[in-house]
A and B are shown apart, each in its own frame.
Chain A
Amino acid sequence: MARLNMVKALNLALLQEMERDDDIVIIGEDVGVDGGVFRVTEDLHRKFGGKRVIDSPLAEAGIIGTAVGMALYGLKPVCEIQFSGFAFQCFHQIENHAARYRTRTQGRLTVPMVIRMPFGGGARALEHHSESEEQFYAHIPGLKMVIPSGPRNGRALLVSALRDPDPVIFFEHKALYHAAKDEVPEESETMPLGRAVVDREGRDLTVIGWGGMMRVAREAADTLHAEDGISVELIDLLTIAPLDAQTLIASAQKTGRILIVHEAPKSFGPGAEVVASIMEGAFLSLEAPIRRVTAYDVPFPGFAREKANVPDAARVVAVARETLAY
Chain B
Amino acid sequence: MPRTRVEPRFQIDYLSILDSDGILDDALDPDIPPDLLQRMYRAMLLGRRLDERMVRLQRQGRIGTFAPIKGQEAAQIGSVATLTPRDWMVPSFRETAAMLWRGWPIEKMLMFFAGYLEGGSPAPGQRDLPITIPVATQLPHAVGLAYAAQYRDDDAVVMAYFGDGATSEGDFHEAANFAGVWHVPVVFVCQNNQWAISVPFKKQTHARTIAQKALAYGFPGIQVDGNDLLAVYAVTKEAVDRARNGDGPTLIECVTYRLGVHTTADDPTKYRSEDEVKAWEKKDPLTRLVPYLERKGLRTSGVEEELDAEIAAAVERFEAAPAPDPLMVFDHVYAERPPHLDRERSEMMERLAEVTPGRGDDGTDTTSLPMRGQRMTRR
Contacts and interface: CB of A to CB of B under 8 A. Distances in A.
A306 B346 CA distance: 45
A75 B171 contact: no
Task: Sort A-B residue pairs by CB-CB distance and give the 4 closest, nearest first.
Answer: A69-B144, A65-B140, A73-B148, A62-B174
Interface in A159-188: 164-166
7 contacts: A56-B178, A65-B175, A66-B140, A69-B141, A106-B331, A107-B331, A142-B334
A242 B144 contact: no
B291 interface: no
Given A62-B177, A109-B122, A245-B339, A73 B333 contact: no
B268 to A, nearest CB: 27
Contact of A93 (B121, B129, B137): B137
Contact of B145 (A64, A72, A93, A107): A72
Interface size class of A (residues with CB under 8 A): 35 or more
A104 interface: yes
Q: Which label, helix, strand, loop or mixed, suits the secondary structure of the B interface?
A: helix
B109 to A, nearest CB: 15
Contact of B129 (A72, A92, A166): A72
Contacts of A68: 140-141, 144
Interface string A102-128: 111111111000000000000000000
Interface of A: 25, 51, 56-57, 59, 61-62, 64-75, 77, 89, 92-93, 96-97, 102-110, 141-142, 144, 164-166, 194, 242-243, 245-246
Contacts of A93: 137, 140, 171
A106 B118 contact: yes
Contacts of B132: 97
A324 to B, nearest CB: 30
A102 B332 CA distance: 6
A62 B339 contact: no
A59 B134 CA distance: 18
Contact of B332 (A57, A103, A243): A103
B147 A108 contact: no
Given A62-B178, A97-B141, 16 more contacts: A61-B170, A62-B175, A69-B140, A69-B144, A71-B144, A73-B144, A73-B148, A75-B148, A75-B151, A96-B137, A102-B335, A103-B117, A105-B120, A142-B333, A164-B335, A165-B336
Contact of A242 (B130, B140, B147, B339): B339
A165 B335 CA distance: 6
Contacts of A71: 144
Contacts of A89: 170
A103 B121 contact: no
A166 B118 contact: no
B358 to A, nearest CB: 25
Nearest to A102: B332
A73 B149 contact: yes
B181 interface: yes
Given A65-B137, A69-B148, A96-B137, A107 B171 contact: no
B117 A66 contact: no
A92 B171 CA distance: 10
Contact of A245 (B178, B334, B340): B340
A248 to B, nearest CB: 12
A246 B342 CA distance: 14
B139 A65 contact: yes
Given A69-B143, A97-B137, A242-B339, A106 B174 contact: no
A242 B340 contact: yes
A75 to B, nearest CB: 5
A66 B147 contact: yes
B148 A74 contact: yes
A70 B148 contact: yes
Contacts of A166: 334-335
Contacts of B148: 69-70, 73-75
Contacts of A106: 117-118, 120-121, 328, 331-332
A243 B343 CA distance: 13
Nearest to A97: B137
Contacts of A164: 335
Contacts of B144: 65-73, 77
Nearest to A280: B343
A104 B118 CA distance: 8
Contacts of A243: 340
Contacts of B137: 65, 92-93, 96-97
A110 B142 CA distance: 15
B134 to A, nearest CB: 5
A92 B134 contact: yes
B177 A107 contact: no
A103 B338 CA distance: 15
Given A105-B121, A141-B333, A57 B178 contact: yes
A166 B177 CA distance: 28
Point out which of B144, B145, B177, B335 has the most chain A C-beta atoms below 10 A from its C-beta: B144
B324 to A, nearest CB: 10
A25 B120 CA distance: 28
B9 interface: no
